[in-house]
A and B are shown apart, each in its own frame.
Chain A
Amino acid sequence: MLTQMNIRGLLFDPYSNAYIVILRDEQNSDVLPIWVGKSEANAISFALENVTPPRPMTHDLMKSILDNVGAKILSAVVSDLNNNTYYAKIHLWYGDSEYAIDSRPSDAIALALRAEAPIFTNEEVLHKQNSEELERWLENLTPEDFGKFET
């Protein structure tokens, strides 16, 4: 069972010096935070803000190749979560067949946004995320973090 996810924001995490893409389902009952690198965050933010860079960025090139040969991007699916690593698939239509190609979620999302294709995840990932996320959150807390909440 797939759940459609929308991008609710892109945050900077100063602790890991990485960016976090926040995906939320339509009812806003589930949240999927996905850590991505700086250049992938850039690629996602350009698409979110409809910025056309003067030269094609890597994901623009990816879309341009697919457009040139008549391949259609159907969807991006965040398909698995293992040891804090998310996995995704890009679903394509080319010729008369459907293809599902393994990808990092950041690439799949950056590409789906450019093609205005929907982003999905499944219940298993949402369920795993709820348990793994709390664990990681607790592990990463340091005494200094607690200090911040004192007023």
Chain B
Amino acid sequence: MSVEQNTDLIPLKVHGVLSDRKTDTQIVILRDQINAHVLPIWVGKTEGDSIRLALDDGVPARPTSHDLITSLLTHLGMTISHVVVTEVQNNTYYAAIHLSANGLERTIDARPSDAIALALRVKCPMYVVQDVLKRRNGDGGEAWLTQFDPKEFDEPDA
């Protein structure tokens, strides 16, 4: 069964990256295609900056660590087919990177921040396991998002 046919997986896109001034962290806002679900994931500053760079198709002065991983994959002839946010436990999200190398499939445990930063660079699909979204929606994701001023999406480093 292909990834798309697997109804447990819901495709996601990155809606934006916010700065949380209180904690010096950043929040990646993931949404599904029809904007029915929103999944905010807290990430470190470096990971948030890296995701924002990829969103803007920006070229940093020096390659980021995620650019290096992308370069390693290209050199060694590997591709990322997709990434999946697989689980949430005690407010920690888990992700998996699905890698193809010489016809072999590998699934690698990763933080969602790394998985997203890589998916944006290699332009592969991102998914979330439906159960993770259900649990998240118990917290009122959509209401939570409205507390942010839309302008903040454009001024992350303020």
The chain B residue sitting closest to A65, CB to CB, is B108
Interface residues on chain B, size class: 20 to 34
The chain B residue sitting closest to A59, CB to CB, is B65
Of the candidates A56, A62, A99, the one whose C-beta lies within 8 Å of that of B65 is A62
CB of A61 within 8 A of CB of B69, answer yes
The verdict on A102 contacting chain B, using a C-beta distance below 8 Å, is yes
When chains A and B are docked, how far (Å) is the Cα of A143 from the Cα of B112?
Answer: 47
Of the candidates A65, A85, A92, the one whose C-beta lies within 8 Å of that of B69 is A65
Residues of chain A in range 100-147 having any CB-CB distance to chain B below 8 Å:
101-104, 107
When chains A and B are docked, how far (Å) is the Cα of A149 from the Cα of B103?
Answer: 64
What sequence of 0s and 1s flags, for each residue 56-69 of chain B, a beta carbon within 8 Å of any chain A beta carbon? 00000011011011
The verdict on A64 contacting chain B, using a C-beta distance below 8 Å, is yes
When chains A and B are docked, how far (Å) is the Cα of A1 from the Cα of B93?
Answer: 46
Given A69-B78, A101-B75, A104-B62, A64 contacting B68 (CB threshold 8 A): no
CB of B72 within 8 A of CB of A58, answer no
When chains A and B are docked, how far (Å) is the Cα of A121 from the Cα of B102?
Answer: 33
The chain B residue sitting closest to A104, CB to CB, is B62
Given A61-B69, A104-B68, A55 contacting B108 (CB threshold 8 A): no
When chains A and B are docked, how far (Å) is the Cα of A61 from the Cα of B95?
Answer: 12
When chains A and B are docked, how far (Å) is the Cα of A43 from the Cα of B109?
Answer: 18
When chains A and B are docked, how far (Å) is the Cα of A102 from the Cα of B97?
Answer: 23
Of the candidates B47, B65, B108, the one whose C-beta lies within 8 Å of that of A64 is B108
The chain A residue sitting closest to B109, CB to CB, is A56
The verdict on B7 contacting chain A, using a C-beta distance below 8 Å, is no
Provide the residues of chain B in CB contact with A56, threshold 8 Å.
109-111, 114
Provide the residues of chain A in CB contact with B73, threshold 8 Å.
65
CB of B92 within 8 A of CB of A55, answer yes
CB of B71 within 8 A of CB of A61, answer no
The verdict on B46 contacting chain A, using a C-beta distance below 8 Å, is yes
When chains A and B are docked, how far (Å) is the Cα of A89 from the Cα of B81?
Answer: 27
Residues of chain B in range 75-126 having any CB-CB distance to chain A below 8 Å:
75-76, 78, 92, 94, 97, 99, 101-102, 104, 106, 108-111, 114
- Interface residues of chain B, those whose CB is within 8 Å of chain A, are 44-47, 62-63, 65-66, 68-69, 71-73, 75-76, 78, 92, 94, 97, 99, 101-102, 104, 106, 108-111, 114
A-B contact pairs, 18 of them (CB 8 A): A38-B46, A55-B94, A56-B109, A61-B111, A64-B108, A65-B69, A65-B72, A65-B73, A68-B106, A69-B99, A69-B104, A92-B72, A95-B102, A99-B76, A102-B63, A104-B63, A104-B68, A107-B65
- Interface residues of chain A, those whose CB is within 8 Å of chain B, are 37-40, 43, 54-59, 61-62, 64-66, 68-69, 71, 85, 90, 92, 94-95, 99, 101-104, 107
